[in-house]
Structure 1
Amino acid sequence: MDIRHLKEQEFEQAIDLSNQTFREEDHTSMGDAFPQVFSKQLNQSFAAFDGDQLVSFIGLVPSKMIIGNAVLNTFSIGSVCTHSDYQGQGISTAILNKVYEFIDQAGASLLFVSGDRGLYRRNDCYHFGKMYNYKIDKISGEQNYKGSVRKGSATDLFQVDDLIKAKEVRYETNIWEWAMLLDAGGYASIFKQKQALYVAEDNRAIEAYVVIGLPENESAIVTDWGGNPAAIRGILTDLLANNVVPKIDLTVPWQESLHDKLRDLPFKVEQNGGTVHIVNAERLIEQVMPYLADKDPDVAERLTVTAKAGVTLEYNKSDMTLSPQEFVKVLFDFNVDSQMGEIQKLFPIPLPNTFGIHYV
């Protein structure tokens, strides 16, 4: 079995296998919905070949993630599939091991995984984070937005990009890439929805935007949003009031001020989508250090991490040795544990919603 990156002429085999595994007849092709996964230019994804036949595939996409002043090198995997004749032979595990080796060599600190099945749990991928999920069918008019709401157009991209760049926590993107992901609609396509852009503006200045999957009679999924929280609420209110969508499904990471503007609406606390794998603990702390320095300017001298038998964190007079799963919990979850001591002052680290427009 040959495990390697794909050659240019082999991508159609990967798309065909992914479509057979994940798509119904009326679904958008995986190749159209996830162009970054099947990109011949990026060519990051891995597959296993039996002779010339592609029999198993793991889509791999690199991303820069902005967290305050820090920039993290991350990867995401998805479209993991194996031909039915080759299942149960450990091929996906063998590809995943190749992926781990590759992303470590590439200098990544985190790997985000779209699933949580046994393949991932056996290989140090863990649930993480905290999100607020809203299922909204009506919004009261007590906080009416004073501007106007309309469908977005190509002339709005510069202003929308400014709002994206203003986010403290986000995937790094450019205008071309974001427009491509808007058109592709990867996550929304799973639910047979087509993404649309709506903007809120006042005196011709765009104050907020929302990207939402448009259904016929189902809950519409918000895959991206940015800008003034009051204006975002105004967009959501307008979509419901004008019957553009019957219901809205919106997920807000814990650190976002939008949650404060929607707090009067019903919500559930959930974890972030999928699972996460720490590629290299020391590298992760090094890459996130500029964010931690906003909490403690002397953190670079006070915090050390050593990954040998487990992960040891030392900060001032506090130290703790953690399993990989415990390390993920300390970094990204909310902990009230007296044994953590001063280390608890530095964490959790905020992350964007992984099940949005950048979903892999």
Structure 2
Amino acid sequence: MQLRLIKPAELDQAARLADSIFREPGAISMKELFPLIFRPGLSHSYAAITEDGTVAAFMGLVPSTIKTGDAILNVFSIGAVCTAPAFRGQGLAGQLLEKCQAHAAEAGASLIFVSGDRSLYTRAGCVPFGGTQFAELNEGSAQALAAAAGEEWTLRPMQPGDFFAVNRLLNERETGHVYTPGELALLLGTEAYAGVLGLAQRTLVAVRDGSIEGFAAVAVPAAADVPAPSTATAVEWAGQPSAVAALLAKAALCGGVGALQVPVPWQERGLLALLREAGASLSAGANSGTVCIADRAALLRQTEGCRKGHDLSSVQDDKELISLLFDPASPLHTSDPSGESEAIPLPYMSGLHFI
């Protein structure tokens, strides 16, 4: 058995293995949902390959860049982790994870994000991280949110001609994944997170005085498949808080949607204030999935420009360091009379860039 970087010619086989584990017959293939993992090119993913060339286990590894304030974080994300039934119990996933962690460290990444929280990852140092307010809009709170957002917005489906304006809004966010135009077009089209949820993605824009000032992608039930109101989920958004609020309210009030879940990172205070004032239910939790440190020195170097006076000299434990840097409610923070969090904001990881 070889454990190594997967070759482009083996990616189709890896996608078929992933489909057999994660997708129902007739569902959209993982190859279509996750082109950043399965498309040919410079792959960072690892596989366990038998002597006859069979992909026995696979672990997708995808690089990306996150902007947070003035800092740029080079990170990897792990997903589509699967082992063929005949090869389970041999520790292949754990060995592949070690390979991925070494690969990320050698590449100069600071963090590795994982979409899961199973023991495979927690044993390897992956921990919950960050802070998120999970809002839920029902009909009443959605109507109140629409009223608070104002009537100056023209709300409509996103068109191809809106692309550069939407790309600008996403890249102007204080915190978020940095998208190239080609990558954004790909991710908008593949609708990965909506597909995983078994929903359809709607992309909307808010226009005022001829200018696009808000964007939202929302995973909603396909109208033909919904006998009764169901739950929708906001996937990604950008722009003026009131414009985003108007778009979320519109999505929540669409036919077939009984409630809209909106996972709002703690730093988006303007949107959170609008949701709270509209009467949306809010519950606090962590970000999506887990994270581990790829390289401590790289993490300290890449976050140097956005750390708020932290003394890290005595912090040896990785879990404590992640809490100190990224958890707004971390008990390791010093008291701040201004009430401003000392944490470094991160985007919610189950968005357009979900891996």
Task: Give your verdict on TM over 0.5.
Answer: yes
Aligned residue in 1 for 2:325: 331
1:37 is paired with a residue of what secondary structure?
helix
Q: Percent identity?
A: 33
Aligned residue in 1 for 2:162: 156
Is 1:114 aligned to residue 115 of structure 2? Answer: yes
Aligned residue in 2 for 1:191: 197
1:6–1:45: 8 Å Cα contact kept in structure 2? Answer: yes
2:257 is paired with a residue of what secondary structure?
coil
2:324–2:332: 8 Å Cα contact kept in structure 1? Answer: no
In structure 2, list runs of 5 or more residues that go unmatched.
none
Per-residue CA deviation, residues 263-291 of structure 1 (Å, 9 max, x unaligned), is 12111111101100011222101111122
1:278 to 275, 293, 297: 293
Closer/same/farther in 2, CA of residues 254 and 214 from structure 1, 3 Å limit: same
Closer/same/farther in 2, CA of residues 266 and 90 from structure 1, 3 Å limit: same
Q: What one-letter code is carried by the residue in structure 2 that aligns with 1:19?
A: D
Aligned residue in 2 for 1:352: 347
Q: What one-letter code is carried by the residue in structure 2 that aligns with 1:220?
A: A
1:232 to 222, 244, 247: 244
Aligned residue in 2 for 1:133: 134
* Structure 1 residue 105, shift from structure 2 partner: 0.7
Per-residue CA deviation, residues 288-327 of structure 1 (Å, 9 max, x unaligned), is 11223xx46xx8xxx5xxxxxxxxx23xxxxx33422222
Distance 2:49 2:27 in 1: 26
* Structure 1 residue 162, shift from structure 2 partner: 1.3
Per-residue CA deviation, residues 215-247 of structure 1 (Å, 9 max, x unaligned), is 134212211100011111111222333437332
Distance 1:191 1:346 in 2: 33
Distance 1:44 1:347 in 2: 33
Distance 1:247 1:279 in 2: 38
* Structure 1 residue 42, shift from structure 2 partner: 3.0
Q: What one-letter code is carried by the residue in structure 2 that aligns with 1:277?
A: C
Closer/same/farther in 2, CA of residues 204 and 40 from structure 1, 3 Å limit: same
Q: What one-letter code is carried by the residue in structure 1 that aligns with 2:324?
A: V
2:325 is paired with a residue of what secondary structure?
helix
Distance 2:332 2:36 in 1: 44
Aligned residue in 1 for 2:17: 17
1:273 is paired with a residue of what secondary structure?
coil
Report matched runs for 1:232-311 at 5 Å. 232-243=244-255, 245-256=257-268, 257-264=270-277, 265-292=280-307, 295=308
In structure 1, list runs of 5 or more residues that go unmatched.
304-312, 315-319
- TM-score after normalising by structure 2: 0.90
What's the RMSD between the two structures over aligned residues? 2.0
Closer/same/farther in 2, CA of residues 206 and 351 from structure 1, 3 Å limit: same
- TM-score after normalising by structure 1: 0.89
1:145–1:230: 8 Å Cα contact kept in structure 2? Answer: no
Closer/same/farther in 2, CA of residues 209 and 120 from structure 1, 3 Å limit: same
* Structure 1 residue 131, shift from structure 2 partner: 0.2
Distance 1:15 1:125 in 2: 25
Q: What one-letter code is carried by the residue in structure 1 that aligns with 2:154?
A: S
Aligned residue in 1 for 2:147: 142
Q: What one-letter code is carried by the residue in structure 2 that aligns with 1:237?
A: A
1:321 is paired with a residue of what secondary structure?
coil
Aligned residue in 2 for 1:56: 57
